[in-house]
Structures are given as C-alpha cells and as structure tokens.
Amino acid sequence: MDQDTLSIEDNADAARDAALIALVRRMAMGEEAALGEFYDATLGKVYGLARRITGRADAAEDVAAEVYIQAWREADRYDSTRGRPLAWLLTICRSRALDSLRRRDKTDSHPEPQSLVGLAEVDGADPLDMLATVERNGALHMTLQTLTPIQRQLVALVYYRDLTHQQIAAHANLPLGTVKSHIRKALLRLRDVLHRRA
C-alpha cells in the first residue's frame, strides 16, 4: 500500500470518528434523532461482535438493544480524548455480550431442555416425592398457560432470569409502570388459578 492510499484511509477514519463523536455529543444533549443515526452507522459492527461472542442471533439482537440503551444513557460520560467512539461502543457491546452468556442457563443451550426438568430432585428421591414434583410442575405449567404471552415472558424474566423490573423494562423496551402492572396481574392470576386447583 502506498503513502497516498494510507493517507486517504486515515482521512476516512478521522471523518467517521468526527461524525460519530458529533452524534454522541448530540445524544448527550438528549437528541433522539442522533441515537437513530448513531444506531444506523454502527449496528453492523455491534451486532457482528455480539453474534461472535454469544453465538446466537436472538441473543445478539438482545445484546445490541442493551448496548444502544446503555450508550444513550452514558453518552454524556463519553470522552473522545480517551478513545474512539466505535471502540467505546464495542467495549460496551463486549461487556453486555459476556453478561448475556453469564445469564444464559443450561436450558438455553441444551438440545432437549425438557429433559433437565426435575433432574436434581430425581436422584435418590422417593417415588411419591417424584410424583408430587411432577404434579406440581404440571400444575404450574398449566397455570402459566392461562397468562397472556407478554405476562408469561415477563414472569419468566423475573423468576428464571432473575432480572429486576427496571432491567426488564429496558430489555423489553416497555415503560417501567407497564412492566410492573403486567407482572402484578400475572401473579394475581397465578395465585387465583393455583388456589382453585389446591
């Protein structure tokens, strides 16, 4: 590569960095349009890194959403003297992707997750205890089916992923009050149905 080619590439990188820095500054001032432009300009890199780390398209999509939420919230803390904007964004992405891997439980990656249900209780268990466990799990499963899809999803995020209401609101891109309302209604519904079956 000759000197002219290197100079052109350096100029293109500098122009891209300047454009991204300007977008981050606008985001820090609360300009939602800037977030959209920043997203459009960087999503390919963010999604690609998230996909490489998580190994799954659905997880990479969730990670990408979390990355842009965090970038929006922390735009005012970005310091261009400490690094390029894309490096800052990809550092956030790497962190969120690793968090996603840590949250992932065995059922997410197991080819037959149903086979994992109750394994801990079965070893050395009394047959009557095993039967009671199966009946309890069956009743819970049937009760969960009475919820709306969004209620089931939010309850799963609370109890199986151990996420807070605020984390769920960010994850599902829903207002916090809506999340709390859905979860409260779901829990009341579960209590009523389980009481009737008891």
| pLDDT at position 27 | 94
Phi, psi of 83 (to 5 degrees): 165, 165
- Which tens digit of pLDDT belongs to each residue from 99-122? 888 777 544 444 444 444 444 444
Higher-scoring residue by pLDDT: 98, 117: 98
Q: What is the CATH number assigned to the segment(s) 116-197?
A: 1.10.10.10
Contacts of 178 (CB under 8 A, 6+ apart): 169
Q: Which residue has the tokens 């800037």?
A: 34
Read off the pLDDT band of 18 (50, 70, 90). very high
Read off the pLDDT band of 21 (50, 70, 90). very high
Do 83 and 73 meet the contact criterion of CB atoms below 8 Å apart? Answer: no
pTM of this structure: 0.52
What is the maximal distance between C-alpha atoms in the chain? Answer: 80
Amino acid at 155: V
DSSP assignment, residue 111?
S
Do 48 and 7 meet the contact criterion of CB atoms below 8 Å apart? Answer: no
- Which tens digit of pLDDT belongs to each residue from 128-161? 555 555 555 566 666 677 777 778 788 777 776 7
| pLDDT at position 55 | 86
Domain boundaries, the chain: 8-104, 116-197
| pLDDT at position 150 | 79
Higher-scoring residue by pLDDT: 153, 195: 153
| pLDDT at position 4 | 52
DSSP assignment, residue 29?
T
Contacts of 72 (CB under 8 A, 6+ apart): 27, 35
- Which tens digit of pLDDT belongs to each residue from 34-90? 999 999 999 999 999 998 888 888 889 989 999 999 999 999 999 989 889 999 999
Q: Which residue has the tokens 């009760």?
A: 143
| pLDDT at position 77 | 93
Fold assignment, 8-104: Rna Polymerase Sigma Factor; Chain: A (1.10.1740)
* pLDDT of 167 above 90: no
* pLDDT of 22 above 90: yes
